[in-house]
Amino acid sequence: MFLELLEEGLKAKVEVRHHKKYRERLEQEVYIIESTNNVDYFLIQWDMVKEARKRKIAVGIGRGSAGGSLVSYLLGIISIDPIRYDLIFSRFLVPERCGLNWVDDITVIGQDMHVGKGEKVIEVNLEDRQVVFYGKAELRIIRDDKEMTVFAYNLQPGDEIQFDNRDLLWTLNELLK
């Protein structure tokens, strides 16, 4: 729903000739929002502002650092186009404030995890890193030239794990729950 609303907002508020520029910024913001588990926050804000406008309750155009959010603009939470006015998103939602560290190499350490009886922790040794997954973590892999999603406990030797930073952050979030 979140992504569909953003697509609707992009089509309604941005000229097609500017879509590439806006989409690049949008992908960066969505990455941060999803990685910091803030999608629900934005959907709640969208719903409250939509309902307020429906009831003819005055809603501000945006204030503070939230005015730098393209996601907020496309959802109709704020009325300020942050790209038009060169506003910065990172003043609003900074990964470091959410306990996320942006590093190139990451090792997920499972020593402090509380694993229930019968649950597995899967250790994967890659060429450049060692990663530990909770057994029920879903991973995108390539096996026998076919892309698929499997649980970590279903990994087989030779599976090519399709990592990106989002996967690593989601895995970290799952481990820290």
Every domain of the chain and the residues it spans = 2-98, 121-176
Residues 131-142: tens digit of each pLDDT: 656 566 677 788
pTM: 0.55
Q: Give the list of residues 6+ apart from residue 161 with CB closer than 8 angstroms, or none.
A: 124, 126, 139, 140, 141, 155
Report the alpha-carbon distance of residue 120 to residue 107 in Å, rounded.
18
Instruction: Decide: 73 and 82 in contact? Cβ < 8 Å.
Output: yes
The pLDDT score that the predictor gives to residue 118 is 58
Beta strands in the chain (DSSP E): 121-125, 130-134, 138-143, 146-151, 160-161
The pLDDT score that the predictor gives to residue 6 is 97
Residues 90-125: tens digit of each pLDDT: 666 655 554 444 333 333 334 444 445 556 666 666
Cα 113 to the center of its chain, rounded Å: 23
Residue with tokens 């999803």: 34
Q: What is the mean pLDDT of residues 12-35?
A: 92
The pLDDT score that the predictor gives to residue 109 is 37
47 band by pLDDT with thresholds 50, 70 and 90: very high
